[in-house]
Structure 1
Amino acid sequence: MTLLATRGLSKQFAGLHAVEDVDFDLPKGQVRALIGPNGAGKTTFVGMLCGRIEPSAGTVRFDDHDISALPAHKRINLGMAYTFQITSVFANLTIAENVALAARRRLRGAEVESAVAEALAHVGLREPPDRAAGDLSYGHQRLLEIAMGLVQKPRLLILDEPTQGLADSEIEAFKALIRELSASATILLIEHNMAVVMETADRITVLNFGQVLAEGTPAEIRADRAVQAAYLGTG
């Protein structure tokens, strides 16, 4: 069953084709990686999926419903959660308060506190919960943001550069987390760390100049000469 699909999805900025005519299908339960060179259109594409960027043309469907005109907050209510390339935590709130804000989309009362603790433990963030989010390192702010996504129990979790700023040991823990989460959520992973991509993704979509260059299993993508020339640097 396809959970998320686009047809002819395009975005122009002042005549520049940032994303052009992208057809994309993400089956339920899959871990899909989206990769490509800087400027390939990945962030713009994800922005259109999330409802933060309005397409110039094309459609976005979620669970077989056309959501192309829905604002971002209504897409979240349908079961989409996402983290961004630039962290969007509330710096003046504590760690626990940040996650609690996200949890209250679906929970009330005492349920919130236990859900917050569970989400923080899940991502391996062991900082004191009453510490201000703005005092965290960049990498730990990324983990906090992932916890804010997880606590919503999303059907689709979109992660944009989640391992940026993480130590090697934290990246290993993140790969284990993705494997665990894939049992209950569909995951779209935008990531430059190719070890993470190759070890966690079921399939990979490669964007280049705003268009789909290739799609396949990690082994197929690694062997694709066009992808090697455009991105992997081995061609």
Structure 2
Amino acid sequence: MAAVTLLSTRDLCRHFGGLRAVRDVDFDLPQGEIRALIGPNGAGKTTFVSMLCGRIPASSGTITFQGQDVTHLPAHKRISLGMAYTFQITSIFGNLTVYENVALAVQHRLGRDHAALKRETLGALARVGLKARAEQVAGDLAYGHQRLLEIAMGLGQEPKLLILDEPTQGLSDGEIEEFIALIREVSANTTVLLIEHNIPVVMALADTITVLNFGRIIAEGTPAEIRANMHVQEAYLGG
């Protein structure tokens, strides 16, 4: 039975003046997959994901999510449909506690059910290893813990698609191992799109890898296929 396509793009482009950051990208993400998006710095990865999320508009092309054209929907509407995302620069509320940050994300889904709000907020924090820090001011967290808090905020939305941009940046080796285990657990119910420079993490997690270079997809395949791809070696993996 063929996998259901959760997210797709056709001829997706983004220009910044004369710079073509993303060029005519056709992309399909099946439901239930862990997909990694890799490529050199400046390849267009974050620009591409920012268009998927509605953070920046596409110059041309289309984006479809769950069979619905979302190309022109604002970011908050896409969140309501089931997208959650974290970006390279953390976007936590630094003056609120760790608990309050996640509770805001959960509240968007649960409303005023206070018992369920507390249960699911603490559950999301437990999944990323931050439950013991629930009452700490978020801005006082180490950078790696702020990254984990962002993931907890995403999980609190119970998304259909979780998009993570450089999630292991700032994490210790032990935290990276815990992150890998977490994403494997999350993928049982949530499709994951991962932008990551840590190639061992990509190879350990991804079902499929998409490689961008100069704003175009140059290869797509399993970790073994990507590792053996001569064009990818020349462009990114270093031979």
Q: Out of 82-91 and 101-110, give the one that drifted further.
A: 101-110
Alignment partner of 1:91 is 2:94: yes
Code of the residue aligned with 1:46 in structure 2: it is V
Separation in structure 2 between the aligned mates of residue 210 and residue 141 of structure 1, nearest angstrom = 29
Count the aligned residue pairs.
Answer: 234
Name the SS for the 1:152 alignment partner. Answer: coil
Structure 2, unaligned runs of 5 or more: none
Please give the per-residue CA displacement for 1:69-95, whole angstroms capped at 9, x wherever unaligned. Answer: 100000000000000100000000000
User: Of 145, 164, 168, which aligns to 2:150?
Assistant: 145
| Structural RMSD (CA) | 0.7
Alignment partner of 1:68 is 2:71: yes
Match of 2:105 in 1: 102
Match of 2:238 in 1: 233
Cα deviation for residue 18 of structure 1 reads 0.2
Alignment partner of 1:201 is 2:206: yes
Structure 1, unaligned runs of 5 or more: none
Please give the per-residue CA displacement for 1:4-50, whole angstroms capped at 9, x wherever unaligned. Answer: 00000000001100000000000000000000000000000000000
Separation in structure 2 between the aligned mates of residue 175 and residue 129 of structure 1, nearest angstrom = 22
Please give the per-residue CA displacement for 1:89-116, whole angstroms capped at 9, x wherever unaligned. Answer: 0000000000000001111322111111
Please give the per-residue CA displacement for 1:131-181, whole angstroms capped at 9, x wherever unaligned. Answer: 100000100000000000001100000000000000000000100111111
| Alignment map for 1:149-228 (pairs within 5 Å) | 149-228=154-233
Alignment partner of 1:119 is 2:124: yes
Aligned 8 A contact 2:8 2:27 in 1: yes
User: Of 17, 20, 24, which aligns to 1:21?
Assistant: 24
Name the SS for the 2:109 alignment partner. Answer: coil
Separation in structure 2 between the aligned mates of residue 106 and residue 192 of structure 1, nearest angstrom = 32
Separation in structure 2 between the aligned mates of residue 232 and residue 8 of structure 1, nearest angstrom = 26
TM normalised by structure 2 equals: 0.97
Separation in structure 2 between the aligned mates of residue 123 and residue 34 of structure 1, nearest angstrom = 22
